[in-house]
């Protein structure tokens, strides 16, 4: 019986942690318009293999947002996240070019054969990557944000917690009723 209580507590704890964690991720994503931030870093899901083997497809990377002053200070070898045709791309800088008062970066994915076709204007650099990666977690995050994932990670644990609470209350009421019946009047 004592083992059953511990199993119940562990299951309840896991369900609560899962529910709160996923709710936190979803809430953070909604509040930041799809850009969840942790300790000043934005979490991005890697959607292509252009930076493999250093950054694997499906990984989560943490990138630090850069302000206007920092955009022109990158050097060859730095990995930056920049805006290209309404999408964010994370590639390595091959070369820094100064044209008049503007700075452009020639970039390339580590796994690509050739540099990117268009130079990146410093104004288009949004963030810098400094090596923090969690492999394959991006698949989980994308699934958790989908309709099926929301059901599996938010609604289902909520239903299970509710069901477990009802079962616990029902058991407690039965025990109280049994004790009441045993008590002489």
pLDDT tens column, 50-82: 888 888 888 888 898 888 878 888 989 999 999
Contact (CB, 8 A) for 62 and 43? yes
Contact (CB, 8 A) for 157 and 21? no
Which residue of the set 21, 48, 146, 165 is catalytic? 48
**Upper half-sphere CA count for residue 184 (Cβ side, 13 Å):** 0
Active site residue 28: no
For the chain (length 185 residues), average pLDDT per consecutive 10? 80 79 69 65 84 87 85 90 89 90 90 91 89 82 76 76 86 86 75
Report the first-to-last Cα separation within the chain, whole angstroms: 30
Residue recorded with tokens 């930056």:
80
Nearest residue to 160 via CA among 45, 3, 18 = 18
Contact (CB, 8 A) for 137 and 56? no
| Burial degree of 173 (CB within 10 A; 0-12, 13-18, 19+) | exposed
For the CA atoms of the chain, what is the radius of gyration? 25
Q: How far apart are CA 89 and CA 45, in angstroms?
A: 11
Question: Given this model, what pLDDT does residue 165 score?
Answer: 84
pLDDT tens column, 92-112: 999 999 888 888 999 999 999
Going edge to edge, which strands form the sheet with 37-38? 37-38, 41-45, 60-65, 125-134, 79-84, 87-99, 102-108, 120-121
């Amino acid at each position: 019986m004592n083992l059953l209580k511990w199993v119940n507590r562990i299951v309840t704890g896991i369900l609560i942690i899962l529910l709160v964690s996923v709710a936190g991720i979803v809430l953070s994503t909604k509040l930041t318009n799809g850009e969840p931030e942790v300790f000043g870093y934005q979490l991005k899901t890697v959607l292509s293999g252009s930076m493999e083997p250093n950054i694997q497809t499906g990984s989560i990377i943490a990138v630090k947002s850069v302000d206007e002053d920092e955009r022109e200070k990158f050097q060859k070898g730095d990995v930056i996240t920049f805006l290209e045709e309404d999408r964010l791309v994370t590639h390595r800088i091959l070369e820094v070019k100064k044209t008049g008062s503007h700075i452009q970066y020639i970039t390339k994915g580590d796994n690509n054969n050739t540099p990117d076709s268009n130079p990146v204007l410093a104004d288009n650099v949004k963030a810098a990557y400094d090596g923090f990666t969690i492999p394959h977690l991006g698949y989980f995050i994308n699934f958790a944000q989908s309709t099926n994932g929301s059901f599996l990670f938010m609604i289902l644990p909520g239903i299970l917690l509710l069901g477990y609470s009802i079962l616990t209350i029902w058991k407690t009421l039965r025990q109280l009723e049994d004790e009441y019946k045993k008590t002489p009047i």
